[in-house]
Amino acid sequence: MLRRFTVSMEDSLLDDFDIFIQDHHYHNRSEALRDLIRSRIIEKEWQAEKPVMGVISLVYDHHQHQLQEKVTELQHGFHQQIVSTTHVHMDHNNCLEVIIVRGKAGEVRQLADSLMALRGVRNASLSMSSTGKDLH
């Protein structure tokens, strides 16, 4: 079943889109937009298989009930993807944990998302880079 929705965009972007539609011989905007969305989603799925190295950093309150245990337990679940973890006691309440990871982009992102979702995690980030092999 097809569903309709409304899209707003700047005039100039829409003009560019219409030129794109002509160049690629689409019959209408909907058809072109569907193809663009599909290709973007496939690209993301493909990237999930890509080998990467990355750094996850977390700031959390170690007084939060069982948070420290959960952070550790999650990491044991991903021990094959974790190269090293450094824990810094920032002040009386806060801990900084920096986790160096290596694995498929999808796995690394899953670990980062799970850690970020824990209650008491104040700040979290993931940065990914291709593995050395892919860097020429």
Residues 31-50 that bind Ni ion (CB under 5 A): none
C-beta separation of 103 from 51 below 8 A: yes
What DSSP string describes 115-136?
Answer: HHTSTTEEEEEEEEEE-GGG--
Ramachandran angles phi, psi of 128, nearest 5°? -120, 150
Pick the closer one to Ni ion by CB: 89 or 119.
Answer: 89
| Length in residues, the chain | 136
Considering only 89, 119, 122, 125, the residue that binds Ni ion (CB under 5 A) is: 89
We find the least distance from the C-beta atom of residue 66 to Ni ion, in angstroms, to be: 15
Residue 53 per-residue DSSP state: E
User: At a CB cut-off of 8 Å and minimum separation 6, what does 94 contact?
Assistant: 59, 60, 61, 62, 122
Nearer to Ni ion, 59 or 116 (CB): 59
Comparing every residue's Cβ against Ni ion, the nearest one is 95
| CB nearer Ni ion, residue 39 or residue 86 | 86
What secondary structure letter does DSSP report for 93? S
Query: Does residue 95 touch Ni ion according to CB under 5 A?
Result: yes
Pick the piece of the chain touching Ni ion (CB under 5 A) from 15-23, 37-45, 82-90, 108-116: 82-90
The one-letter code for the residue type at 31 is: E
Question: Which of 14/88 has CB closer to Ni ion?
Answer: 88
Residue 62 CB, nearest approach to Ni ion (Å) = 5
**Site residues (vs Ni ion, CB under 5 A):** 89, 95
